[in-house]
Structure 1
Amino acid sequence: MDPIVIGGVAGAIGSVVTALTTQFFMSRTKALELRHADLVDARQRRAEESLARQSQVRRSYVDLNSSARELLATLTDLLRAVEADEVRDDERNALEQARYDYRICYAEAQLSASDEVLTAASSVDKALTNLFGVVKRFDKGISRDGESFRGAEKKRQEIWGRLSTLRSLMREDLGVSGSPPGES
């Protein structure tokens, strides 16, 4: 065979092999790039979902804290008004609205709070519910044996302590360190 033909055939085979090899490596590189892009997208989606969940939990905690404090404040207002025998419908209506708002926030927290926070929130809820019953019975003039304004005041003070504990646990769960400004 002629060396020129052999060289031509070898060159042609080399060109085909080079083209095939280049195509193979380009396809492989493109597949790796696509896989990497998919991994980056998945990580970014997970990070965004995590941030959204953290934001939702934070909002739930803020709402629970503020609504529990508002319910306790309206319970205090009605308790003081009943004790002074100066109850107005404004106090009753404010209490019912605060209780309604609180119940919604507590229900939301039941679905988003950590177990530790939920245990503390449940303790606050039971104490608020108990005080609500006492105050409503005082308001209707049908208090039970052993119920007194002094006892109601003691329960009210205990709830503030439970709220403080709950708030600390919520802050810890959110990764906020230390006490809020002005508290110790």
Structure 2
Amino acid sequence: MITAVVGILGTLFAPVLQQRMTVRQREEDARREDRRRRVEERRTAYTAMNRASRQFHTLLKDALHRIRDDVYTDEDRARLEEARRDYRDRYAEAQMIVPERVLAASRALNTVLAGIDAQAKRIDRGLQRDGETAAGALLELKEAEPRLATMRRIMREDLGILD
């Protein structure tokens, strides 16, 4: 009698247990896919932020050289403005995806880049403050290089890339 009851209960509950196991597996697969998607989103944001930051830095350095040499053109100004916008846009996109420590590193870099960019604009317009020169701004711009490296290192660590 007991064997018959156990057999019947086993037959009745087997589909229920199978369904619960399938649901659990699907939930785990969905969690895994969500984690993979988030990491991929961050990787894309980091790549764009890194590229835009380095491009803005490079064009800012180039602008200062050209201002110093008195060969800065409207085309140079337009390229720098485009890089500035791209840099700002990549940061804005990343704000909703990346951890605060990456944003903090980006803000530290932005402090230098924005300050030098403002100096370059003043010098280009002939409105420089006392002691502001393109050559001096180029020296100050060197502060951005370790901040670029720090930001990249933090991004790589967040992605699990350790050297």
TM-score by length of 1: 0.83
- The residue aligned with 2:145 is 160
Alignment of 1:124 onto 2:102: no
| Aligned-partner Cα distance in 2 for 1:152–1:113 | 31
Give the aligned CA root-mean-square deviation in angstroms: 1.6
- Pairing partner for 1:62 from 47, 51, 56: 47
| Aligned-partner Cα distance in 1 for 2:140–2:39 | 33
Tell me if the contact between 2:64 and 2:120 (Cα under 8 Å) persists in the aligned partners. yes
| Aligned-partner Cα distance in 1 for 2:117–2:103 | 20
- Pairing partner for 1:103 from 83, 88, 102: 88
Higher relative contact order (CA 8 A, sep 6+): 2
The residue type paired with residue 144 of structure 2 is I
Total equivalences in the alignment = 162
Tell me if the contact between 2:105 and 2:151 (Cα under 8 Å) persists in the aligned partners. yes
Residue 146 of structure 1: SS of its match in structure 2? coil
| Aligned-partner Cα distance in 2 for 1:27–1:97 | 68
- The residue aligned with 1:181 is none
* 1:175 positional shift: 0.6
Residue 15 of structure 2: SS of its match in structure 1? helix
- The residue aligned with 2:24 is 39
Structure 2 residue runs without a partner (length 5+): none
* 1:21 positional shift: 5.2
* 1:22 positional shift: 4.0
Tell me if the contact between 2:48 and 2:90 (Cα under 8 Å) persists in the aligned partners. yes
Alignment of 1:69-80 (within 5 A): 69-80=54-65
Tell me if the contact between 2:68 and 2:134 (Cα under 8 Å) persists in the aligned partners. yes
- Pairing partner for 1:88 from 63, 73, 77: 73
* 1:36 positional shift: 0.7
Tell me if the contact between 2:68 and 2:135 (Cα under 8 Å) persists in the aligned partners. no
Tell me if the contact between 2:116 and 2:137 (Cα under 8 Å) persists in the aligned partners. yes
* 1:23 positional shift: 4.1
* 1:27 positional shift: 2.3
Alignment of 1:142 onto 2:127: yes
Residue 96 of structure 2: SS of its match in structure 1? helix
Structure 1 residue runs without a partner (length 5+): 1-13, 179-184
Residue 111 of structure 1: SS of its match in structure 2? coil
Residue 61 of structure 2: SS of its match in structure 1? helix
The residue type paired with residue 121 of structure 1 is S
**CA deviation string 1:50-88 (max 9, x = no partner):** 000000001101100000000011111211111111111
Tell me if the contact between 2:64 and 2:135 (Cα under 8 Å) persists in the aligned partners. no
**CA deviation string 1:124-156 (max 9, x = no partner):** 112111111011111111111232223211221
Residue 31 of structure 1: SS of its match in structure 2? helix
Structure 1 outlier segments of 4+, above 3 Å: 20-23
Alignment of 1:26 onto 2:39: no
| Aligned-partner Cα distance in 2 for 1:129–1:97 | 14
| Aligned-partner Cα distance in 2 for 1:82–1:68 | 21
